[in-house]
Amino acid sequence: MSDVLEKALAEMGFALLEYRGNGEFLPIATLPTWFSEIWAETRNSSDPIPLTRQSPFLESFLLEAEDFWNSPTPAGCQSETWIEKALSGREIPVQARALLLDGNQILALLSPDAQFRERVRFLQTARNALLDHERLAREIQKKEILLHCIVHDLSQPLSIMHVAMDSLSEESISERSKQFLTLGKHAGDQQETMIRQILRTFSDDLRASLDAGTEGNVSSDLLECARKTTTSLAPTFEAKGVHLAVSSLVDLEAEWLVVAEESRLQRIFSNLLENALRYTPAGRRVAIGVEDEGDFLKAYVDDEGPGLPRDLRPEQIFGLFMKGKQSGGKAGLGLYFCRITVERWGGSIGCVTLPEKGSRFWFRLPRTSGRTAASPFDAPDASNLKSAKRNPGIVRPLRILFADDQEDIRTLTAYQLKRSGHKVVIAKDGKQALNAFRSASFDVVLLDQEMPGMTGDEVARAIRKTEGGKKERVFLVASTGNTTSEDVRRLKQAGFDDVLGKPFRLEDLNLILSAAPAATDTSMPSVLPGAIFTELVARVGGDEKLLKRMIHTFRRDTPKRLAGIAEAIRRKNPEALASLAHALKGSVSIFGAESARKHTQELQDLGRGKELSRAAEVLALLKEEIAKLQANLRGYANQTPARSKSNHAKRQRPSRNRGKRRR
């Protein structure tokens, strides 16, 4: 090789070596500087270099190179980049290529420094972006859980209030009491609107920006919050026979102001106390206290239970969805909420097993002075918010399985459902609900979402699995405080047919139940007898005008909906088919047209299952049923139900637009 060519190759960074067997190579051109940096002893050497002994990577690559030298292929034989460390500590990227030139076995080594650095930069940026994206998604999930915890807690008592007031309004009470009741209901309506507004606003914010969780500095009295929570939970502790008290070691005169927002600080205490109660046997004691730690103030809850589980580290106990095996706890969000809230305020949280008996759950928060506490739920002016307009539903006697872990909601709701003529089986948790479902037949299963053991989602999936591909599916309703479009989509995916937002009212529930299939076929006959008209009028609250408007709307809109369904089938658009069929199902259900409802359900299922091969056939059947129904409804215009029955129905109907009507 000419001197010029040799120098040119070295200048380009190539090291050319001829293989001499036994892992040794002889340089056939001037070696570049980087080569000598790695293998310094080769400098100025004319002896063969035992490269494979010095580089495990080359030792491995030699096997591939030998294969190539023995049977060359057009694809060649080239290594990926590997890193050799120079004696100076500098990491030098190297690539190897086996060549067969005039029968000579040549190894060409190159250090692709500039390209390599560029590639590293590209990969580093891409992977950092991926990691950032994952972190962002986790952060959003955390905040959504936090939000859902709060909304759930706000909704739960409101549901009880609604149902309790509804029940009360159907009792014989004085006019004055009715006025008070109306006031209470009105306030409940406002509160409900605010809760929904919070959920919607925060939920949107979470998706729009991660800054939603940042809060201004707020300050709360740690001891005062501890006392308030202790007072509010005292009856629960008493009921279980557990003694609850503020520790006698606490300095009641000191200032206990910390960085925290009061309502959530109380919730932290509440979660820790409820956790302690779960594990403390009757006759034992739970103590709550605070301690001064200089820049931080510490709060603790001591119980006399069995101590922390041995198979869990203390940090894990505050993890997401972490539940004790026999805790009887809820969704595993309580302690997780405590942790993320305390950490957001710049504090820390932990737990230990106490030396003698029981465990201590503690948290510490930065000390502050001055009080600027503000509720994070500064609600918008309620007067500007209008309650959603509700339509009454037609409720037929149904067999209903109702599961909720809150005893008061169970009792009140079951009472109301039975009053409406339904047969009700109640379950206090998910597992009990599933067992009940497997041992009897139901038309409707109404499931609370957050239940211990099995969540509503899990029960729904198990029910759908039990049903297999059967055509006759139970009507599944989710009861939840979280009703964003994302929540509803998730619940529908879990197998629910409808979602009942908490806090709910009987009319909400009735509206949903009106869409449920009846236990027996209640298809409308070809000519509607007067009794059925009467029943229809009764079921829309005795309001004939309303019924006529509904019929008018149905007759006007249904042809368009049918055309939309036909178009969705023609365009092979399963999502549109499912959505349009679902909408039409609600309409035909109102008029009790069971056969038509079944066909719309079938079309909806076909759309959801993206199986459109039978859709046209089912649509033809649906059109026949709709035609019958349209004819019957047309005939109704000439009939007038008995006034007295209508009035009777009016007295019996569930309350609707209560505030306005009574004014």
Partner 1 sequence: MLQKKVCMLGSFAVGKTSLVRRFVESIYSDVYQTTVGVKIDKKNVQVDEKEVSLVLWDIYGEDDYQKMRWTYLRGASGYLLVADGTRKATLEKAVSLERRVREEAGSIPFVLVINKSDLIRDWELDTALESQLSAEGWSILRSSAKTGEGVEESFSLLTGKMLG
What does the binding site for partner 1 look like in residue numbers (CB under 8 A)?
55-57, 60, 63-64, 80-83, 91, 93, 116, 119-120, 122-124, 126-128, 130-131, 134, 138, 313, 315-316, 318-320, 339
Two tokens, residue 556: 């006007």
| Nearest to partner 1 of 129, 254 (CB atom) | 129
| Nearest to partner 1 of 320, 354 (CB atom) | 320
Q: How far is the CB of 376 from partner 1 (least distance, A)?
A: 24
Two tokens, residue 521: 């076929």
Q: How far is the CB of 119 from partner 1 (least distance, A)?
A: 6
| Nearest to partner 1 of 57, 415 (CB atom) | 57
Q: How far is the CB of 320 from partner 1 (least distance, A)?
A: 7
| Nearest to partner 1 of 350, 586 (CB atom) | 350
Q: Which conformational region is residue 21 in: left (phi greater than 0), alpha (psi within -120 to 50 degrees), or beta?
A: left
How does DSSP assign 131-182, residue by residue?
HHHHHHHHHHHHHHHHHHHHHHHHHHHHHHHHHHHHHHHTS---HHHHHHHH
| Nearest to partner 1 of 23, 586 (CB atom) | 23
d(CA 583, CA 553): 13
| Nearest to partner 1 of 43, 127 (CB atom) | 127
Q: How far is the CB of 68 from partner 1 (least distance, A)?
A: 12
d(CA 54, CA 109): 15
Instruction: Give φ, ψ of 290 to 5 degrees.
Output: -135, 150
Helices (H), 22-112: 33-38, 51-54, 56-70
d(CA 321, CA 329): 10
| Nearest to partner 1 of 128, 179 (CB atom) | 128
Q: How far is the CB of 39 from partner 1 (least distance, A)?
A: 14
Q: How far is the CB of 94 from partner 1 (least distance, A)?
A: 9
Note the Cα 447 to chain centre separation in Å: 16
E strand or H helix that includes residue 353: strand 348-353
E-strand spans in 471-538?
Answer: 475-480, 498-501
Q: How far is the CB of 259 from partner 1 (least distance, A)?
A: 20
Q: How far is the CB of 93 from partner 1 (least distance, A)?
A: 6
E strand or H helix that includes residue 25: strand 25-27
d(CA 227, CA 352): 23
E-strand spans in 418-562?
Answer: 423-427, 444-448, 475-480, 498-501
d(CA 403, CA 419): 18
Q: How far is the CB of 311 from partner 1 (least distance, A)?
A: 10
Distances (CA, A) of 114 to 92, 111, 528: 11, 9, 85
| Nearest to partner 1 of 56, 635 (CB atom) | 56
Q: Residue for token digits 């003529």? A: 421
How does DSSP assign 506-523, residue by residue?
HHHHHHHHTTSPPSS--P
Q: How far is the CB of 322 from partner 1 (least distance, A)?
A: 10
| Nearest to partner 1 of 90, 138 (CB atom) | 138
Neighbour count for residue 439 (Cβ, 10 Å) = 8
Structural contact between residues 229 and 273, judged by C-beta atoms closer than 8 angstroms: yes
Q: How far is the CB of 64 from partner 1 (least distance, A)?
A: 6
Q: Buried (b) or exposed (e) across 285-323, using 16+ Cβ within 10 A? A: ebbbbbbeeeebbbbbbbbbbbbbbeeeeeeebbebebb
E strand or H helix that includes residue 392: none
> CB under 8 Å to 447, separation ≥6 — which residues?
403, 430, 433, 456, 459, 460, 476, 477, 478, 479, 496
Q: How far is the CB of 56 from partner 1 (least distance, A)?
A: 5
3-state helix/strand/coil string of 278-300: HHCCCCCEEEEEEEEECCEEEEE
HSE-CB of 8 using CA atoms within 13 angstroms: 5
| Nearest to partner 1 of 81, 406 (CB atom) | 81
Q: How far is the CB of 314 from partner 1 (least distance, A)?
A: 10
Q: How far is the CB of 258 from partner 1 (least distance, A)?
A: 21
| Nearest to partner 1 of 107, 615 (CB atom) | 107
Two tokens, residue 560: 């368009």
| Nearest to partner 1 of 314, 376 (CB atom) | 314
| Nearest to partner 1 of 37, 64 (CB atom) | 64
Q: How far is the CB of 229 from partner 1 (least distance, A)?
A: 25
| Nearest to partner 1 of 342, 528 (CB atom) | 342
| Nearest to partner 1 of 142, 628 (CB atom) | 142
| Nearest to partner 1 of 91, 378 (CB atom) | 91
- Strand 243-246 relative to strand 257-259, pairing: unpaired
Q: How far is the CB of 346 from partner 1 (least distance, A)?
A: 16
d(CA 17, CA 4): 17
| Nearest to partner 1 of 313, 470 (CB atom) | 313
Q: How far is the CB of 481 from partner 1 (least distance, A)?
A: 24
Give the chain's end-to-end CA distance (angstroms, integer).
107
Structural contact between residues 479 and 508, judged by C-beta atoms closer than 8 angstroms: no
E-strand spans in 215-318?
Answer: 219-221, 243-246, 257-259, 285-293, 296-302
Q: Which long-range contacts (CB under 8 A, 24 or more apart) does 335-342 make?
A: 335/271, 335/272, 335/275, 335/361, 336/145, 337/145, 337/146, 337/149, 337/267, 337/268, 337/271, 338/268, 338/271, 338/272, 338/363, 340/142, 340/146, 341/146, 341/264, 341/267, 341/268, 342/268
